[in-house]
A and B are shown apart, each in its own frame.
Chain A
Amino acid sequence: MIEEVKETKLDPVTFEVLKNGFINLVDQMSEQILRTCYSFVIYNRDFSCALCDANGDTVMQGTQDIAVHVGTLHLTAKAVIEDFKDDIHEGDVFLVNDPYHGGTHFNDVRVVRPVFYDGHLIAFMQANGHWSDIGGSVPGSFDVGAKDIFGEGMRIPPVRMWSRGEYLEDVANLLVSNMRVPKERLGDLRSQSEATKVAENELLRLVEKYGIDTVLTAFKESQNYVERLTRARLKELPNGTWETTDYIDMDPELGDGLIPIHVKMTIDDDHIYYDLNGTHPTISCFLNSTLGASLSGLYAGTKTFFPDTPLNSGFYRVITADLPEDSVVHAKYPAPVAGFCSGSYEKIMNACFELWSYVMPERALACSFNLEYLLIGGWDKRTKEENFFMWYDWMAGGHGGRSDRDGANTMSPVFGMGLSVQPCEGQERLTPVITTNHEIITDSGGPGKFRGGCGVQKGGTLTEVADTVMSVCCDRSRSVTWGIKGGLPSIPHGNWLNPDTENEQFLGSFFSNVKVKSGDSFTRPSAGGGGLGDPLERDPQRVLEDVIDEYVSIERARKDYGVVIIEIDKEIDLFRIDFEATKNERDYIRKHRKAWLEEDPIKVEKMLKNGEIDKLDVIRRYGVIMDYKTNRVLLKSTAQFRESMKKRSLIFWD
């Protein structure tokens, strides 16, 4: 390692050139991975790349990186340094996926290549991609039944994969032999490794051109620059403390009761402190996250309010966080964490969105739908040649309402805005699953002065399969996607097997290894975003436009917005707003809505059973949480949900 960098204060031009050069070389890695990878999860952009300095600190992340890896890549490089110390050589390449040592969950496999110049270690190139399978008992490696990480697949602490340029085939073989479709995994390994090589060449070109001292100084200055930029912006914001609680649905072993994640944020001049004390202890299923992954949630949640700031360790220096040990945000080894992205991670991000919405009201953002991964794995019987198939799918959904406009419809989850949903035609070719519909759900956007974006319904039927199971990794069937500043919740997540048949069954929002057979059908809604602002203040004209586009039904226009719309001729989009009736309806809702949130939940359950109210009334009017497997209210969860609904919605109503 070069101990001392000659501190040449760089001239502004050289600095700008090198800073952009770093961004460029990291993006070059990404582009190459995208074009050569084998895992379709990576192909659909669940990956990230970084240039780290010789200490492992991040000099630059890519511009198209997925949020969920932000602020974790330097921990990976540091894990390699910690384990291998002086035993790192030119031509070595390392592999890491250990959530408790530099990783997030097993599927995220990081390839780390040290870069040498003149015999000295100067940097690490890193390419991190989500491998479609990493072993374990469930295809795709999301096992809700796993009680510890040993059930979640292949754990890879920092391991040497190339030694001084020599490929260690036996080591690679040991790893991929424990995974499904090993050939593809080797393809991903090659793709990621070659990408880091391309970036290494590019960095060495910059070193040749500008000199080693200049480049190493630019590493430091890139980090200092981002820190300076962020601190300058923070100084313009008010000091203060804001706090909120978001929830994971449950700990399956504990039953009824939302799992709180408490986030307190303090802005002190030019620094941000997050305190997550008060968060629930580690739970028995995979929705926990490790320390590094939770820090990433805080960084990514914050970064959303500083969209044009480049990402590197300079940004992370501005944030200090206290994450209590043995909690769902700092899981205790060896607790399971494979589903952290659907669990703690997105709760932390959305809590950050809410807190920052008070600091920067002009960039406010209500809660967005939850990441949902569904996996069907089994044997494809469509042809004589038997193939093991994996129908691995994730949903688009609605984003939260905003300060001056509705939330975005049908977007990728906030855990990674670049993650693209898959074409059904591609899926139908590869797997014996036929999609029956993929469409917007009317009334799924949380009502508000600015409503949440709409969620999506996707249904499918299994055609010719054998020995097939289904698993889902999601959340928010109970901790329903919420509104802020007076806005209302959207709809619960959760999957149904054989909907609208006598075998209809609610499977919940996370489960694994449910047996399915040819002819079975299933459907899954993704939530819309939460609303922002009092829905009774929404311009009736906007409600009318929503009715014409069937984003909102005439019935919910009346119930959620108090806007009474009369259909004249739907065939030519002809409707009329009854302003008189609207005034009356809005007065009626105003008068009763606070009391609705106090109504006895048991009575609400009965009203639903009797058909006096519907499922959306249950959540939006009464704030009652139900178990749709039994159609019974969940008293503890309801009490918790109502408490937060009062803080987020009721206190803003007149």
Chain B
Amino acid sequence: MKNVRLAIDVGGTFTDVLLFDEVSGETLVTKTPSTPSQPEQGIMNGITKANIHSENIKVFSHGTTVGTNALIERKLPKTALITTKGFRDIPEIRRGTKQDLWDAYNDVTDPYIKRRDRFEVSERIDYAGRVLKEVNESEVKELARVLKKRKVEAIAIGFMNAYVNGKNEQKVKKILQQELPDVYICASSEILPEIFEHERLSTTIINAVLGPTVGNYISNLESRMKEIGYDKDILVLHSGGGVMTSKTVPHYASRLASSGIAAGAIASKYIAELCGFKNAIGLDMGGTSTDISLMYEGELRVTKDWYVEYGYPIGFPSIEVLTIGAGGGSISWIDEGGSLRNGPHSAGAEPGPACYDAGGTKPTNTDANLILGRLDSTLLDGQMILKKEKALQALQPICEQFGYTEYEAAHAILEVAHSNMCDALRLISVRRGYDPRDFVLVAFGGAGALHSAYLAKEMDIPHVIIPTHPGVGGALGCLLVDFRHDITKTYVTKIRDISVDDIEKEFLTMEKEAMKLLEKEGIEHENMHLIRHIEMRYAGQWRSLDITIGKPIFLDEAVNHFHKEHERAYAFSDPNVEVEIYGLSIEAVGVVRKPELKKEKPRGAIEDALKGYRNVFFKETGGFTETPIYRRTLIPVGVQIKGPAMIEQLDSTVVIPPEFIAKVDEYKNIIISIKK
């Protein structure tokens, strides 16, 4: 491989490596254990394992959990908050809510900055941006002296109403930069100039605590890459579903939280579009959890309402990903009311499912799949042997409780697991006003392909795609993205009071800022795409909907679009009610050339891929059924396989149930559809 795009996604357990040769169209996939204490080491190991020379790497893109982990483990630099006098407890008061309403012993986690590190200055700006109290320079200098003495490494500045006027914040920032030149400093008015003090400050604080952390990480990674001879840009994926270069990373550090999760969603979008679908639900199912995303009309759903830990929102637009505690290792149990439950507790990697024979005694989805013959007892090319007798043993309590045979019990376990996953799929589709029948399901992850056909059937989703390399969705996502920045602004005005010229002026200012950012990333003007968004709502409503708007601005069109979107999302609209604008934003995209996956010509015969037959339990055919087992790598493109059938590959098993039919497309994706 000579012209390689290298994508590396560092996850909690594995570092996934994907190489794509731009000329030959070849791909190579490998995995290596992650090294959480020194994540860049895992990356170097991956590059070594992939056996690629640095001079052959043209582009290196990267997704990482460094930010997420630092937040969760509170491995953060000493950071101070500076806020308006009287408001230093904003990050602790938050909105006062908690995620678990009823459990008085299940608390919201502590704020990222302790009260002792939260400082105040006398200043005030009102809602209209008027300065009620100027910043006092000597007060700030005195504060700087104390912060220096405290050996502060990062500072977040967040003042009341700074979203309308950032003057006071900037003044304080300037003084502090002079006094404390080595300290990372960011201000809320430049990070996220949006209304609501907790949400804006929370984003700014997360940016400050992560700034030095991800900054150090990226510069370590850069020097390690230089050591092996790679000195081009490192492109880092952010939660908004785009990349930024390493030099921009410290500025928007908070966007790096959940970078890896966004990657999976992007891969789902790409694969679905490759197969000709505009609407897709992405399902990435691993051992302990499943990530679900949704693309509609070619756009991934984006949310500004997200967090790594409940109570501490990050206000940047982020690809909406729903994570639920359902995976291969999810434990099946009977509650005190006698109900059969599944998850959210997981046997994890250790001790793992009962059949791993590593001390786990509770039945998991993996055990059920093994008992039903859906999983072979030999996995990962023989590196792992599963013990069926252990799985059977673990199932006994469920058999006894309900008078089931072991097979019935295993089947019931999976049905409950499917129902839980379908509830999550409904949450992101039906609950948001999307009809699952218009979608395709893209299944990633080691466990996704075992269950996806059944989920599709339950949800009335007509087709399922199993990508060629379901185990490295994250790395694939990193490979495919454009540069992206988002500039947002609060702008509250009723439609009847709006001057189109004024909005145009606002948009132009924001676009200028966006272009500057893209220029800094080295994007040519012809590759810049600036998309205008308006947030709208019925006057008096509290939530708004995001509407894209063209250039020049036709407000009537946008308002009509809003009514339609309200109708789609909530099944009603009211054209007689006044509409207002709540916010403006620019989605700035720097388009980069995407890899073009190689199409294959049919080669060989399906018979050559047949590994043998196994008895697999399908309720639809009345129980155990002799089922052909295929090796995925040997299946020629273009063939059709009727269910029941199983397709095995290194890190994944595809179940094609009896009522389904599978096609292998020219990109080697498997598309499973229900038989008509």
Residues of A within 8 A of B (CB): 11-13, 15-17, 19-21, 24, 28, 31-32, 34-38, 40, 43, 45, 63-65, 67, 183-184, 187, 190, 194, 197-198, 202, 225-226, 228-229, 232-233, 303-304, 307-308, 363, 365, 396, 399, 402, 405, 408-412, 417-421, 423-426, 428-429, 434-440, 456, 459, 548-551, 571-573
Q: Give the one of B90, B108, B127, B195 with max A CB within 10 A.
A: B127
The A-contacting residues of B in range 79-119, CB under 8 angstroms, are 85-90, 92-98, 100-108, 114-116
What 4 pairs between A and B have smallest CB-CB spacing? Answer: A437-B86, A229-B337, A396-B96, A420-B95
Contact at B340–A426, with CB atoms within 8 Å?
no
Least CB distance from A499 to B in Å reads 13
Least CB distance from B619 to A in Å reads 11
Q: Which residues of B sit under 8 angstroms from A15, Cβ to Cβ?
A: 339
Q: Which residues of A sit under 8 angstroms from B146, Cβ to Cβ?
A: 571
Cβ of B182 under 8 Å from chain A: no
Least CB distance from B604 to A in Å reads 41
Q: Which residues of A sit under 8 angstroms from B415, Cβ to Cβ?
A: 13, 17
- A-B residue pairs in contact (CB < 8 Å), sample of 20: A16-B419, A21-B423, A24-B423, A36-B572, A37-B541, A64-B101, A187-B538, A228-B336, A232-B336, A307-B103, A363-B105, A402-B105, A405-B105, A410-B93, A411-B97, A434-B126, A439-B89, A548-B116, A551-B115, A571-B146
Q: Which residues of B sit under 8 angstroms from A399, Cβ to Cβ?
A: 104
Q: Which residues of A sit under 8 angstroms from B87, Cβ to Cβ?
A: 424, 437-439
Least CB distance from B162 to A in Å reads 9
With A and B bound together, what is the CA distance between A28 and B424 in angstroms?
Answer: 12
Contact at B93–A425, with CB atoms within 8 Å?
no
Q: Give the one of A34, A190, A365, A425 with max B CB within 10 A.
A: A425
Q: Which residues of B sit under 8 angstroms from A396, Cβ to Cβ?
A: 93, 96
Q: Select which of B86, B96, B116, B199 is within 8 A of A549 by beta carbon.
A: B116
Q: Which residues of B sit under 8 angstroms from A31, Cβ to Cβ?
A: 431
With known contacts A226-B337, A229-B336, A423-B196, A40–B542 Cβ distance under 8 A: yes
Contact at B104–A365, with CB atoms within 8 Å?
yes
Task: Report the contact-size class of chain B (Cβ under 8 Å from the partner).
Answer: 35 or more
With known contacts A17-B419, A429-B127, A417–B92 Cβ distance under 8 A: no
Bitwise, B477-505 to A at CB < 8 A (1) or not (0) is 00000000000000010000000000000
Residue of B nearest to A21 (CB): B423
Contact at B95–A229, with CB atoms within 8 Å?
no
Question: Other CB < 8 Å A-B pairs besides A24-B423, A35-B569, A420-B97, 12 of them?
Answer: A16-B339, A21-B423, A43-B543, A64-B101, A198-B571, A308-B102, A412-B98, A423-B95, A423-B196, A425-B127, A426-B195, A440-B93
Q: Select which of A38, A67, A439, A548 is within 8 A of B86 by beta carbon.
A: A439
The A-contacting residues of B in range 632-674, CB under 8 angstroms, are none
Contact at A13–B412, with CB atoms within 8 Å?
yes
Contact at A423–B195, with CB atoms within 8 Å?
yes
Q: Which residues of A sit under 8 angstroms from B338, Cβ to Cβ?
A: 225, 228
Q: Which residues of A sit under 8 angstroms from B127, Cβ to Cβ?
A: 425, 428-429
Contact at B416–A16, with CB atoms within 8 Å?
yes
With A and B bound together, what is the CA distance between A270 and B178 in angstroms?
Answer: 69
With A and B bound together, what is the CA distance between A649 and B127 in angstroms?
Answer: 47
Contact at A410–B89, with CB atoms within 8 Å?
yes
With known contacts A38-B541, A439-B87, A12–B402 Cβ distance under 8 A: yes
Q: Which residues of A sit under 8 angstroms from B228, Cβ to Cβ?
A: none
With known contacts A16-B419, A428-B127, A549-B115, A408–B88 Cβ distance under 8 A: no
Q: Select which of B90, B103, B115, B572 is within 8 A of A308 by beta carbon.
A: B103
Residue of A nearest to B420 (CB): A20
With A and B bound together, what is the CA distance between A421 and B402 in angstroms?
Answer: 47
Q: Which residues of A sit under 8 angstroms from B100, Cβ to Cβ?
A: 307
Contact at A187–B97, with CB atoms within 8 Å?
no
Q: Select which of B88, B105, B492, B571 is within 8 A of A197 by beta carbon.
A: B571
Q: Which residues of B sit under 8 angstroms from A232, Cβ to Cβ?
A: 336-337
Least CB distance from B537 to A in Å reads 9
Q: Give the one of B104, B420, B538, B569 with max A CB within 10 A.
A: B104
With A and B bound together, what is the CA distance between A145 and B538 in angstroms?
Answer: 36
Contact at A425–B196, with CB atoms within 8 Å?
yes
The A-contacting residues of B in range 524-551, CB under 8 angstroms, are 538, 540-543
With A and B bound together, what is the CA distance between A460 and B241 in angstroms?
Answer: 42
Cβ of B198 under 8 Å from chain A: yes
Q: Which residues of A sit under 8 angstroms from B90, Cβ to Cβ?
A: 438
With known contacts A303-B102, A550-B115, A20–B149 Cβ distance under 8 A: no
Q: Select which of A32, A402, A411, A549 is within 8 A of B570 by beta carbon.
A: A32
Cβ of B426 under 8 Å from chain A: yes
Residue of A nearest to B103 (CB): A307
With A and B bound together, what is the CA distance between A226 and B543 in angstroms?
Answer: 35
Q: Which residues of B sit under 8 angstroms from A410, Cβ to Cβ?
A: 89, 92-94, 96
With A and B bound together, what is the CA distance between A616 and B541 in angstroms?
Answer: 44
With known contacts A13-B419, A16-B340, A439-B87, A456–B93 Cβ distance under 8 A: yes
With A and B bound together, what is the CA distance between A31 and B322 in angstroms?
Answer: 15
Q: Give the one of B89, B96, B538 with max A CB within 10 A.
A: B96
With known contacts A438-B90, A440-B89, A28–B431 Cβ distance under 8 A: yes
Contact at A194–B570, with CB atoms within 8 Å?
yes
With known contacts A303-B102, A425-B127, A429-B492, A439–B88 Cβ distance under 8 A: yes
Contact at A225–B426, with CB atoms within 8 Å?
no
Residue of A nearest to B574 (CB): A190
Contact at A421–B93, with CB atoms within 8 Å?
yes
Cβ of B150 under 8 Å from chain A: yes
Q: Which residues of B sit under 8 angstroms from A573, Cβ to Cβ?
A: 116, 150
Residue of A nearest to B431 (CB): A28
With A and B bound together, what is the CA distance between A43 and B577 in angstroms?
Answer: 19
Cβ of B261 under 8 Å from chain A: no
With A and B bound together, what is the CA distance between A513 and B339 in angstroms?
Answer: 54
Least CB distance from A520 to B in Å reads 17
With known contacts A304-B102, A307-B100, A572-B149, A429–B337 Cβ distance under 8 A: no
Cβ of B452 under 8 Å from chain A: no
With A and B bound together, what is the CA distance between A226 and B339 in angstroms?
Answer: 10
Contact at B197–A572, with CB atoms within 8 Å?
no
Bitwise, B567-588 to A at CB < 8 A (1) or not (0) is 0011110100100000000000
Q: Which residues of B sit under 8 angstroms from A408, Cβ to Cβ?
A: 98, 107-108
Least CB distance from B66 to A in Å reads 29
Residue of A nearest to B413 (CB): A13
Q: Which residues of B sit under 8 angstroms from A197, Cβ to Cβ?
A: 571
Contact at B95–A12, with CB atoms within 8 Å?
no
Contact at A421–B196, with CB atoms within 8 Å?
no
Q: Give the one of A67, A229, A437, A439 with max B CB within 10 A.
A: A439
Least CB distance from A527 to B in Å reads 14
Cβ of B73 under 8 Å from chain A: no
Bitwise, B407-431 to A at CB < 8 A (1) or not (0) is 0000010011001100100110011
Contact at A229–B101, with CB atoms within 8 Å?
no
Q: Which residues of B sit under 8 angstroms from A229, Cβ to Cβ?
A: 335-337, 339
With A and B bound together, what is the CA distance between A229 and B342 in angstroms?
Answer: 17
Q: Which residues of B sit under 8 angstroms from A440, Cβ to Cβ?
A: 89, 92-93, 115
Least CB distance from A552 to B in Å reads 11
Least CB distance from B145 to A in Å reads 9
Residue of B nearest to A431 (CB): B127
Q: Which residues of B sit under 8 angstroms from A21, Cβ to Cβ?
A: 423
Residue of A nearest to B422 (CB): A17
With A and B bound together, what is the CA distance between A431 and B400 in angstroms?
Answer: 64
Cβ of B394 under 8 Å from chain A: no
With known contacts A412-B97, A424-B160, A571-B149, A233–B197 Cβ distance under 8 A: no
Q: Which residues of B sit under 8 angstroms from A184, Cβ to Cβ?
A: 540
Q: Which residues of B sit under 8 angstroms from A572, Cβ to Cβ?
A: 149-150
The A-contacting residues of B in range 107-152, CB under 8 angstroms, are 107-108, 114-116, 126-127, 146, 149-150
Bitwise, B384-409 to A at CB < 8 A (1) or not (0) is 00000000000000000010000000
Q: Which residues of A sit under 8 angstroms from B339, Cβ to Cβ?
A: 12, 15-16, 19, 225, 229
Residue of B nearest to A38 (CB): B540
